[in-house]
Amino acid sequence: MNEKQVEKLLADVKNGKLTVDEAVQRLRLLPYEDVGFAKIDYHRPLRCGFCEVIYCPGKTSQQVSHIFEKLAKTGQNVIATRADSAFYEEVKHTTHLEGLRYEQAARMIVLEQKPIESPVGNIIIVTAGTADMPVAEEARVTAHMLGQKVDVVCDVGVAGIHRLFGNLEAMRKANVLVVVAGMEGALASVVGGLVDCPVIAVPTSVGYGASFEGLAALLAMLNSCASGVTVVNIDNGFGAAYAASVINMKIANS
């Protein structure tokens, strides 16, 4: 939609030919910007509630820097996932953005232009072990940057299940739980049987040989006997946090 089309759309609203809701529906389909190597979707917040997120693997630092700068012009907070510290340094030196920072544990590059002053709802991220924390941190930073109130309960796996029970009261007050576990992935089923909110399970690639780099935990979580447990892909802390944020926003706005 070009400038003239936008002007006509606004004129139609003014003249009563279109309702405000009809105009919003048309604006949801506004085009992306084609920069050659990427098609940047500026209107994802209008359609989906949250802005586009940059996935770093497969892109050069120059490409990521260019996308960052384009998205930054919207005034939104911007995040990029799966970046190591060396890649961040390259991005930092090829962009002119102030305030760019690196979240080491989460392996994410963050540009926080709008302070998150009043986080929404209540998401709790639960990890089976400390070794699961990198994935949990990806989830925590993602949820925070999407404007959610998020807390982390770490190292409460089934090998010492009394640790979980010590945190159960707080977990039962959450709108959504994200359960991150490797090895045999049993924690998601245990938690799912103790709470009345949605549980998003994240299998991690933590474990010895027979864990098959997270496949054992993934299959265990997919076969959970606890109702209300849904599963994302191996090590996908970002995807779990995004889904949890969508649910949390719906609950908070209801």
What would the pLDDT profile of 198-223 be if each residue is shown by its tens digit?
999 999 999 999 999 999 999 999 99
Closest CA to 244 of 141, 110, 165, 169: 141
Half-sphere exposure of 6 (CA within 13 A, CB side): 8
CB 106 within 8 A of CB 120: no
Among 30-34, 37-41, 200-204, the range scoring the smallest mean pLDDT is: 30-34
pLDDT band at 29 (very low <50, low <70, confident <90, very high): low
**Residue 157 burial (C-beta neighbours within 10 Å; 0-12, 13-18, 19+):** buried
Quote the crossing angle between the two packed helices 3-14 and 20-27, to the nearest 10°: 160
Cα 180–251–233 angle (5° rounding)? 25
Per-residue pLDDT at 1: 52
For 9-32, the three-class secondary structure string (H helix, E strand, C coil) is: HHHHHHCCCCCHHHHHHHHCCCCC
The predicted pLDDT at position 21 comes to 86
What mean pLDDT comes out for the span 48-56?
A: 87
Query: Does residue 2 have a pLDDT over 60?
Result: no
Confidence (pLDDT) at 42: 82
Decide if pLDDT at 52 tops 90. no
Find the mean pLDDT for residues 13-20: 89
46-64 mean pLDDT: 89
Q: pLDDT tens digits, residue range 83-108?
A: 999 999 999 998 888 889 999 999 99
State residue 34's pLDDT score: 82
What is the DSSP code string of 166-223? TTHHHHTT-SEEEEEE-TT-THHHHHHTT-SS-EEEEE-S-SSGGGGGGHHHHHHHHT
Q: Which residue has the higher pLDDT, 252 or 156?
A: 156
| Residue pair 164/199 in contact by the 8 Å Cβ criterion | no
Confidence band, pLDDT 50/70/90 cuts, at residue 33 = confident
Q: Amino acid letter at 129?
A: G
The pLDDT of 26-31, averaged and rounded, is 69
**Phi and psi at residue 115, in whole multiples of 5°?**
-55, 135
In which region does residue 90 sit, left (phi positive, over 0), alpha (psi from -120 to 50) or beta (all else)?
A: alpha
pTM (2 decimals)? 0.86
46: confidence class by pLDDT, cuts 50, 70, 90: confident
Mean pLDDT of the chain: 91
Q: How high is the pLDDT of residue 35?
A: 86
Residue showing tokens 């009394």 = 162
pLDDT grade for 32, boundaries at 50, 70 and 90:
confident
| Residue from 218, 127, 130, 103 nearest 177 by CA | 127
How many C-alpha atoms does 189 have within 13 Å on its Cβ side? Answer: 15
Query: Tell me, what's the pLDDT at 225?
Result: 92
d(C-alpha 23, C-alpha 146), whole Å = 26
53 and 27 Cβ atoms separated by less than 8 Å: no
Structure tokens that stand for 176 in this block:
């959504």
The whole-number pLDDT of residue 23 equals 83
